[in-house]
Amino acid sequence: MLHRPETFSDILQLESHGPDTFVGLSPKYSWGRIYGGQVVAQALWAALKTVKGVFAPHSLHAYFIRGGSLNEPVRYEVDRLRDGSSFCTRSVVARQSGGAILNLSCSFQVIEKDAEVQTARMPLAPEPEECRVQEDDSWPSIMERRPLNSYPGAGQSMGWVRLTDSLGEDPRLHVCGLAFTSDAIQFNAARSIHPLQVSRDEYREKFMGASLDHSMWFHRPTRSDVWHLFQWDCHGLTGARGMTVGNLFAANGAHIATIAQEVLLRERR
C-alpha cells in the first residue's frame, strides 16, 4: 500500500532511483487522477536537485500528456541539457507504467542585481478572510483556496491560495509551492464564457476538463505558505480549448509570476 503524502513537504520527499532519477508519491484526489500542479511541482523539484544552489528557476514550460494514476508512484527522469555560467537548462519527463504523463522544460539563472521595474498592478480584491470558504471543497488539506465569484460572461477568475504547512526559509521550496498552487483557479475564467452555463455540481456531468499545457515565468520571490492572489483572463475558446493567462501577486502587491495555460473544456455529448 502506498504511503500517501499528507503535507506539501511530504509531496517533495522524492526518493533517488539512480542518476538524475527520482520517484514521488501523490495524495488522493477526489476526481480520480493526480492534480497537475503536483506533477509540475515535483518535476521542478527533481530538476532543482541537479542544479547548483546559486541558480533559481526563472521559467518553466510543461505539457500534460495523460492523466496520472493515483495508485502508483511517478518517476521523474531529469536530462541536464545545458550548464552555463549564468543560465542552465533541464528537461524532466514524468512517467508511470502507462507511459509519460508530463514533459517539463525549465531554465535557471544566477540571481542578478539590475533594473527593477513593475508595471503589472494587483487588482482590487477582498481580503482572504472575507472570501467564502468552500465547505464541500474536494481538495486535500495540503492547499487552501478562497476563489472569488466568476460571473457568466466575465472571462476572468481570481482567488487567494496558500499551502497549509510552513515550509521554512528555503526559496526553492516556495517556488515549487507556487508551481503547485498555480493550477487551481484558472478554469473558472474559461467556464464563465462558455455558452453552456451549469452549476458547480453539474459541471462534471456536462463537461470533461483537464489542463493541457502550462507555463510560468518567475519574477520575484515570495512565500507559498502565506496567501497570494491569482488573477486569470480567458482569451477565448476554440476547439474545446480555452486559453488562460494570469498574474500572481503577493499580498503586498508585488508581481511574483506570469502564467499561461491552455485548458480542455469539452462538452460531454
Q: What is the CATH number of the domain that holds 171?
A: 2.40.160.210
What was the pLDDT predicted at 137? 58
Question: In this structure, what are the phi and psi dihedrals at residue 121, rounded to the nearest 5 degrees?
Answer: -115, 135
Give the list of residues 6+ apart from residue 16 with CB closer than 8 angstroms, or none: 22
Question: Can you name the residues that pair with 250 across neighbouring β-strands?
Answer: 228
Range of the domain at 180: 8-111+134-267
Q: Which residues are catalytic?
A: 183, 211, 261
Question: If you ran DSSP here, which 8-state letter would residue 129 be given?
Answer: G
- In a domain? residue 16: yes
DSSP state at residue 198: -
E strands of 111-206, at which residues? 143-147, 156-163
Residue 128 covered by a domain:
no
Going by C-alpha positions, the residue among 222, 124, 132, 148 that lies closest to residue 179 is 222
Position 253 in a domain: yes
Decide: 231 and 156 in contact? Cβ < 8 Å: yes
Please state, in angstroms and as integers, the Cα–Cα distance from residue 97 to each residue in 24, 26, 100, following that order: 14, 15, 8
Pairing of strands 99-110, 255-267: unpaired
The answer to the question of residue 119 being in a domain is: no
pLDDT of residue 51: 97
Q: Read off the C-alpha cell for 95.
A: 512517467
pLDDT tens-digit profile, the chain (269 residues): 567 899 999 999 999 999 999 999 999 988 889 999 999 999 999 999 999 999 999 999 999 999 999 999 999 999 999 999 999 999 999 999 999 999 999 999 998 989 999 999 999 999 998 887 665 556 778 999 999 988 889 999 999 999 999 999 999 999 999 999 999 888 899 999 998 888 877 877 888 888 999 999 999 999 999 999 999 999 999 999 999 999 999 999 999 999 999 999 998 88
2 in a structural domain: no
Listed in sequence order, the residues at least 6 apart from 38 whose beta carbon sits closer than 8 Å to its beta carbon are 11, 26, 27, 180
Q: Is residue 176 part of a domain?
A: yes
> Is position 127 within any domain?
no
**Rounded to two decimals, what is the model's pTM?**
0.94
Helix (H) or strand (E) holding 136: none
Is 240 within the bounds of a domain?
A: yes
User: Cα separation of 255 and 248, whole Å?
Assistant: 6
Q: What is each CA distance from 48 to 91, 106, 122, 213, in whole angstroms?
A: 11, 9, 29, 21
pLDDT at 138 (0 to 100): 60
Q: Which three cell numbers stand for residue 13?
A: 520527499
- Our count of domains for the chain comes to 1
**Residue 17 CB partners (closer than 8 Å, separation 6+):** 23, 75
Contact 75, 20 (CB under 8 A): no
